[in-house]
Amino acid sequence: MKGINSMTTIAENELTPEQVRDSKIYTQWGLTEVEYELIVKTLKRLPNFTETGIFSGMWSEHVSYKKSKPILKKFWSTNERVLQGPGEGAGILDIGDGQAVVFKAESHNHPSFVEPYEGAATGVGGILRDIFSMGAQPIAVLDSLRFGELDDPHTRHIVDGVIAGIAGYGNAIGIPTVGGEISFDSVYSGNPLVNVMAVGLIDQAAMQVGQARGVGNSIIYVGAKTGRDGINGASFASAEFSTDHESDRSAVQVGDPFLEKLVMDATLKAVREHSDIIVGIQDMGAAGLLSSSSEMAAKAGMGITLNLNLVPQRELHMTPYELMLSESQERMLLVVKRDEEQAIIDLFKEADLDAVVIGEVTDNGRYILEFDKGIVADLPIDFLTHAPKQDLPMTKPERMSTFNDTQYEPDIADLKATILAIMSQQTIASKASLFRHFDSMVRADTVIKPGGDASLVRVRGTKKALAMTTDVNARYLYLNPFVGAKMAVAEAARNIVSTGALPIGITDGLNFGSPDNPEVYYELDQSVAGINVVAQQLNTPVISGNVSLYNETDGQAIYPTPMIGMVGLLDDVNQAMTIGFKNPGDIIYLIGKTEDSFNGSEIQKMQTGKIDGQLFDFDDEAELVAQKLVRSAIHKELINSAHDLSEGGLIVGLLESSFQNTLGFDIDTQQDAKYLFSETPSRFVVSVSPELSDEFESIASGYATKLGHVTHSDEISIKTSTQNVHLSLVETVKVYQESISCQLKD
Amino acid sequence: MKAAVISFPGSNCDFDMLYALKDFGIDVQIVFAKENNLDEFDAIFLPGGFSYGDYLRTGAIARFSPIMSAVTKAANEGKLIVGVCNGFQILTEAGLLPGQLLVNKNPGFICEEVPLKVVNNNTNFSNAYSLNETIMIPIAHGEGNYFADDEVLTELENNHQVVFRYGNNPNGSLNDIAGIMNEKGNVFGMMPHPERAVEKVTGNIDGQNFFKSILSGILNQA
């Protein structure tokens, strides 16, 4: 055996360090020439095969965020509630009474395109591990999904697989899928987005972090055995797609929700019963054992030595490279006080799970891997975990300077036909036929199920409830990433406010094209800037998130799509508000002003087939006023329904409120009919009992416009200053409900 | 008077059932599938979930777990045995209830509130409902399509062993069967989840009378 700091040994049948250098295999793994040279210079020797693989995983964008970090560090992420900001498995916010909410979002875009079922399923599994590795009980999952359009058979195949994968994993592990959103646009046909957000609950006393402190403490490997699935998946996720890379299929992992449930329950039990001897917990996600172990040591400023022969393996003859870069699912790493390991091992054994000491914490700052009695890697941890940052150039996208500054003029010659057409659009039509495959009720805490603005989950044993939503309209960001990002945060907050809850924090899922394209890098920078502005206005810090770059296939990038996951706190669950009209006779009000806001709108897309022109304005002040008004009206128990307006505008909001309890309405907008489709932000539709309307108007004066009232009949009657229309509720519901399932059939 | 909720590895509605029973004042505790004695309990609940992952046929592994011999013993002693969703599937696999739960007619997991008709209210599981009353109870399953051969079906109908029927059959179950009991009337299984319909705050209380029925049944026995 060779000594530390000398040349390391190599495993059988691997390229020698010289062959690695000469063959430049590292470029296939995503390392650049400059990075490789830096490694050689710093190590003062050639890295061997395993070490080169280790760098390629750790320095991939997916793990290191080397390209996005200069932008990400601008996120505003502290306020009085923040107990844990970005940098750990998930962020944590104080919700009072010694409790805290833990949440994070993660993307599984590339795997879901290659292997939709397993890609989506393991996305759910991965984000849940992030939550319970903090010591928190997961209580809900939300999905933010973007697909190509349903007339494409391959898209239909992806939709089917992704929905089944989320259902297959989430339903089995028993964490409800309570919400999210799904939309369709051809820019996603080669790069579907599968972003999963998970929310957990924790007693503040039980919070865990992923750190390896204390010399001599043991590293315990827990859960599934390691196989050859997902090897170097992090590098795979950090590259663009090309349609001739069919063989990338092998980089997708396979999920086992049953095993994860055992791991989850046992980990949470260990946290409850042995918090005195557990030093740190980290899930094995991107770059598997490698990333989890090196990051735990780096965060604590320590070193780590692992004996790879001790890693539980489900395949024969696995090499150190494979063991370190496998992304096999349902695995966790625990750091436990020396000589106290047996209690933890016994606890996992009781649940029929592998729990094995595979190494220890050291104080030499080195990342050392032993294998077959030799040392196969010996690297400085600080260097390994700090990929050289890249300052990338950014330029304002060419398209933005060509956009016309006049707003699109909708064609509404036939108002009835236009309304029915809007309700049948893929973006607008009901997604219930997809969401019904998800168990939204397991754990019996779901107060507002999918189909509302935000979902609401009560905190058992208290009067509190947590509202949660995911949102972003990427069309707006395509037109203007800064303003569009502001609108995304605002809309997520309006969703939360519609339930009566106070928005308290954000997790993001930043989905973009290649950062090496200066225009894409500009989009990323401007999106983060826009998110920050509104996040601070709303006092909703960004406490966790995920970046997914290289969402390009054959050179076509997706729209900039920063998914905003937001959580809100409702103090009294009995005040929970829903979007549906409740009683015939209730008066319908529109909160907020409606303007010419048609560029980037659903009606523009529907009528012209594209998104074009300068994005309409966002009025920060109007947004805050509208949100405050709605929350206050809910808390004063003045309103019976509240629904935020977004894609499709007022007409879509009114009809969705109408469909919930099958009640008609009779309104007069006193505006040109085209404004039914305007997407001016910062608006809500609310309904109020006639006897409370004076009181409501006294607090809403100047902000609310009376539109009409809820009716008992099947008839929907709409007057405008230019046209009137009558619709059958039954017929309109049918269009809304059946459009997606019709298009999904081959 | 005590009740047990059996937790199989992969059960995920065990605590939902436990909380619902506690809400009705029942002294109840979780018993793991590794145990093999249920003598101290008067009523036994097999909850929903994916026991042992259910990667094979649902319930096919669970029926061999140690606790099942104790469940069978309790059933033979006339104690109340209730299986919901995966619990129902396990009871059919174990032969404690007739028939089988197949993959839904249109394959795929469905989570939805569906109308059920109470077609026998003279049972330990439905006596608090009115006869032919329609209630809304959530379903959440991919394999809830009840199947039995003609002979068994005829027997079930003749003995009034069908307790709940679907109003709008969501999964292809024969005779719209949603819940059945054994001939003796002490073992019962249903696919819908009454434990998810007991609190106003979560929007549905139609399951309350299911637990009230069981409570009166247990009290009658005690």
A683 pLDDT more than 50: yes
Higher per-residue confidence, A232 vs A323: A323
pLDDT tens-digit readout, A316-326: 999 999 999 99
Boundary residue ending a domain (A356, A384, A412): A384
- Tell me whether strands A446-448 and A91-96 are parallel, antiparallel or unpaired: unpaired
Smallest Cα–Cα separation from A336: which of A453, A214, A436? A214
Residue A28, CB half-sphere, CA atoms under 13 Å: how many? Answer: 9
Looking at residue A2, its pLDDT comes to 38
Q: What is the ipTM score, two decimals?
A: 0.96
Looking at residue A4, its pLDDT comes to 39
Chain A positions touching B15 (Cβ under 8 A) are: 443
Which among B61, B111, B208 is the top mutation candidate for probing chain A, defined by the most A β-carbons within 10 Å of its own β-carbon? Answer: B111
Looking at residue A12, its pLDDT comes to 61
Catalytic residue among B13, B85, B141, B143: B85
- Which residues neighbour A402 within 8 Å (Cβ) at sequence distance 6 or greater? none
pLDDT tens-digit readout, A549-603: 999 988 889 999 999 999 999 999 999 999 999 999 999 999 999 999 999 999 9
- Which residues neighbour B145 within 8 Å (Cβ) at sequence distance 6 or greater? B101, B102, B103, B104, B105, B171, B172, B173
Question: Is some CB atom of chain A closer than 8 A to the CB atom of B165?
Answer: no
Q: B148 to chain A nearest CA, in Å?
A: 26
Q: Are A537 and A492 in contact (CB under 8 A)?
A: no
Question: Is some CB atom of chain A closer than 8 A to the CB atom of B140?
Answer: yes
Residue with tokens 């043991």: A218
* Residues lower than pLDDT 70 in chain B: 219-222
Dump strand ranges (E) for B68-190: 80-84, 100-102, 110-118, 134-141, 145-147, 162-166, 177-181, 187-190
**Which sequence spans correspond to the domains of chain B?**
3-221
A9 pLDDT more than 70: no
Directed axis angle between helix A153-173 and helix A729-744, to 10°? 100
**Which candidate from B9, B108, B202 shows the least CB-CB separation from A437?**
B108
Active site residue A62: yes
Work out the pLDDT band at A251, boundaries 50, 70, 90: low
Chain B positions touching A440 (Cβ under 8 A) are: 111
Question: Inter-chain contact A258–B20, Cβ cutoff 8 Å?
Answer: no
Chain A positions touching B203 (Cβ under 8 A) are: 447, 449
**Which candidate from A262, A351, A440 shows the least CB-CB separation from B111?**
A440
- Which residues neighbour A325 within 8 Å (Cβ) at sequence distance 6 or greater? A53, A54, A57, A231, A232, A234, A287, A288, A290
Dump strand ranges (E) for B1-62: 3-7, 28-32, 43-46
Q: Would residue A272 count as lying in a domain?
A: yes
A343 pLDDT more than 70: yes
**Which candidate from A351, A437, A449 shows the least CB-CB separation from B109?**
A437
A247 pLDDT more than 50: no
Q: A510 forms bridges with which residues in the sheet?
A: A547, A562
Work out the pLDDT band at A746, boundaries 50, 70, 90: low
Chain B positions touching A445 (Cβ under 8 A) are: 202
C-alpha–C-alpha distance, residues A439 and B196, integer Å:
12
**Which candidate from A352, A439, A445 shows the least CB-CB separation from B140?**
A439
Boundary residue ending a domain (A323, A354, A384): A384
DSSP code for A141 = E
C-alpha–C-alpha distance, residues A491 and A482, integer Å:
14
For residue B54, give both structure tokens: 């259910």
Q: Are A129 and A165 in contact (CB under 8 A)?
A: no
C-alpha–C-alpha distance, residues A50 and A640, integer Å:
63
Looking at residue A445, its pLDDT comes to 98
Cβ pairs A/B, distance under 8 A:
84
Share in percent of chain B as helix, strand, coil (round to 5): 30, 25, 45
**Which candidate from B16, B138, B203 shows the least CB-CB separation from A443?**
B16
- From residue A640, alpha-carbon distances to A579, A643, B73, B178 in Å are 9, 10, 53, 35
Mean pLDDT across the stretch A636-660?
98
Question: Inter-chain contact B53–A171, Cβ cutoff 8 Å?
Answer: no
Burial class (CB in 10 A: 0-12, 13-18, 19+), A708: middle
Please state the φ and ψ torsions of residue A52, each to the nearest 5 degrees: -65, -40
pLDDT tens-digit readout, B48-94: 999 999 998 999 999 999 999 999 999 999 999 999 999 999 999 99
CA angle B29, B33, B36 (to 5 degrees): 90
Residue B170: closest CA among chain A residues belongs to which residue?
A436
Work out the pLDDT band at A3, boundaries 50, 70, 90: very low
- Order of all β-strands in the sheet with B80-84: B28-32, B3-7, B43-46, B80-84, B187-190, B177-181, B162-166, B110-118, B134-141
Q: Look at phi and psi of residue A218 and say left if phi exceeds 0, alpha if psi is from -120 to 50, else beta.
A: beta
Chain B positions touching A442 (Cβ under 8 A) are: 12-13, 16, 48, 140, 196
Q: A685 forms bridges with which residues in the sheet?
A: A590, A643
Burial class (CB in 10 A: 0-12, 13-18, 19+), A2: exposed
- From residue A292, alpha-carbon distances to A213, A281, A663, B58 in Å are 14, 9, 53, 35
Question: Is some CB atom of chain A closer than 8 A to the CB atom of B106?
Answer: no
Give the torsion through C-alpha atoms of A532, A534, A537, A540, to 10 deg.
-70
Residue B137: closest CA among chain A residues belongs to which residue?
A441
Q: A181 to chain B nearest CA, in Å?
A: 17
Q: A362 forms bridges with which residues in the sheet?
A: A303
Per CATH, the homologous superfamily of domain B3-221 is Class I glutamine amidotransferase (GATase) domain (3.40.50.880)
Q: B15 to chain A nearest CA, in Å?
A: 7
A274 pLDDT more than 90: yes
Looking at residue A5, its pLDDT comes to 41
Mean pLDDT across the stretch A626-641?
98
CB atoms within 10 A of CB B164: 27
Domain that holds residue A139: 61-384
Active site residue B141: no
Work out the pLDDT band at A236, boundaries 50, 70, 90: low
Question: Inter-chain contact B201–A447, Cβ cutoff 8 Å?
Answer: yes
Work out the pLDDT band at A264, boundaries 50, 70, 90: very high
Question: Inter-chain contact B10–A172, Cβ cutoff 8 Å?
Answer: yes
Boundary residue ending a domain (A342, A358, A384): A384
CATH number at residue A630: 3.90.650.10
Question: Is some CB atom of chain A closer than 8 A to the CB atom of B103?
Answer: no
C-alpha–C-alpha distance, residues B161 and B175, integer Å:
12
Work out the pLDDT band at A655, boundaries 50, 70, 90: very high
A359 pLDDT more than 90: yes
Q: B134 to chain A nearest CA, in Å?
A: 19
Domains in chain A, number:
2
**Which candidate from B19, B111, B195 shows the least CB-CB separation from A439?**
B111
Chain B positions touching A576 (Cβ under 8 A) are: 201
Smallest Cα–Cα separation from B12: which of A139, A202, A123? A139
Question: Inter-chain contact A258–B140, Cβ cutoff 8 Å?
Answer: no
Q: Would residue A256 count as lying in a domain?
A: yes
Mean pLDDT across the stretch A67-86?
94
Work out the pLDDT band at A206, boundaries 50, 70, 90: confident
pLDDT tens-digit readout, A439-474: 999 999 999 999 999 999 999 999 999 999 999 999
pTM above 0.90, yes or no: yes
Question: Is some CB atom of chain A closer than 8 A to the CB atom of B166?
Answer: no
Q: Are B41 and B66 in contact (CB under 8 A)?
A: no
Higher per-residue confidence, A499 vs A326: A499
Mean pLDDT across the stretch A411-432?
96
- Which residues neighbour A741 within 8 Å (Cβ) at sequence distance 6 or greater? A433
Looking at residue A10, its pLDDT comes to 58
